[in-house]
Amino acid sequence: MRCPYRLSAVENTEVKCQLIYGFVAASSLVVMSLAGTVSAAPPAPAGDVRLRDSRVPASEPNISGVWQVAGGGLRITPVGGGDPPWKPWAEKVFRDRAEDEVRGVTRWDPTGACYGSGVPRIFTAGYLTEIIQIEGKILWMYESQHVWRVIHMNEKMPSKLEHNIRGYSVGRWEGDTLVVETAGLSRMGQVDERGTMMTDHTRLIERIRRDGDQLENTFTIIDPTAYNAPWTSRRVFRYVGNQRPAEYVCEENNRNVPGPDGKFITILN
């Protein structure tokens, strides 16, 4: 059974383009894996020039390689703890969902329908992440759900975007910090595993900096329709270059129980 992700005709051009990069990246993973099997060479350290396209400017920091989140939990909360600065309706959605889960009532979850996780939710997954730097783009390949994203470097955000789970990301380097803006996110997504709200108006600003064998991602969630103010959280990833992402299967017969009106998405009008 195919995962039920349907794409609109408008999305197809961009998605096809991104799929090409995804297939190229996936192919490179196979080649790298086979090469490692044959030569039995030790893993390259973080920052090794062999881990990225030689056409990437030498002035840009090297963050290529395999990384894994270092803790942080399934819920994304502001730096310093506490709850996000919710609008009353968004907090009610979160609390109602938590109560339903205690009672065993299943609510909409994109991963339960094989849509995969978007950002920043994917940052909570304890699976491996492979970052590949190529000319003009940075590819993120997630072991979890085989999710991928493309950061379009030194480009302006398009004036019109189709909404989808992972949105559209543009990036630039500010010294040793990679600044990534993501827009075009969808109300079908979630900020984290616990159901913190996301809408079609959600934007994400990431500031990613490598410190030795660690990658720190400090990200700010901006959505004036769901939150009273922007709020910032953080995840740290550690370099695990001796590992390779494994297969992750979206199995048949995934189920997600609809709401009382027979629809999956019932929280927004």
In a domain, 4, yes or no: no
Q: Residue 256 has what pLDDT?
A: 55
Task: Determine how many CB atoms are found less than 10 A away from the CB of residue 190.
Answer: 22
Measured CA distances, 35 to 15, 46, 197 (Å): 30, 18, 43
Residue ranges of the chain whose pLDDT lies below 70 = 1-50, 250-269
In a domain, 247, yes or no: no
Name 266's bridge partners: none
Supply the DSSP symbol for 51: G
CA dist., res. 209 & res. 186, Å (int) = 27
User: Are 138 and 132 spatial neighbours (Cβ–Cβ below 8 Å)?
Assistant: yes
In a domain, 1, yes or no: no
Burial of 43 (0-12, 13-18, 19+ CB in 10 A): middle
Q: Domain of residue 212: give its range.
A: 12-239
- Taking only the tens place, the pLDDT of each residue in 206-216 is 999 999 999 99
Give per-residue burial for 104-135: e unless 16+ CB within 10 Å, then b: eeebbbbbebbbbbbbbbbbbbeebbbbbbbe
Q: What phi, psi does 56 have (nearest 5°)?
A: -70, 130
Tell me the pairing of strands 148-153 and 168-174.
parallel
DSSP of 92-113, one letter per residue?
A: HHHHHHHHHHHHT-----GGGG
In a domain, 49, yes or no: yes
Which amino acid, 181? E
In a domain, 90, yes or no: yes
- Taking only the tens place, the pLDDT of each residue in 82-134 is 999 999 999 999 999 889 888 887 777 877 777 788 899 999 888 899 999 99
**The CATH number of the domain where 200 resides is what?**
2.40.128.20
In a domain, 70, yes or no: yes
Supply the DSSP symbol for 88: H
In a domain, 92, yes or no: yes
CA dist., res. 182 & res. 15, Å (int) = 15
User: Are 21 and 150 spatial neighbours (Cβ–Cβ below 8 Å)?
Assistant: yes
Give the total number of structural domains in the chain: 1
Q: Residue 52 has what pLDDT?
A: 84
In a domain, 251, yes or no: no
CA dist., res. 208 & res. 123, Å (int) = 12
Which amino acid, 219? F
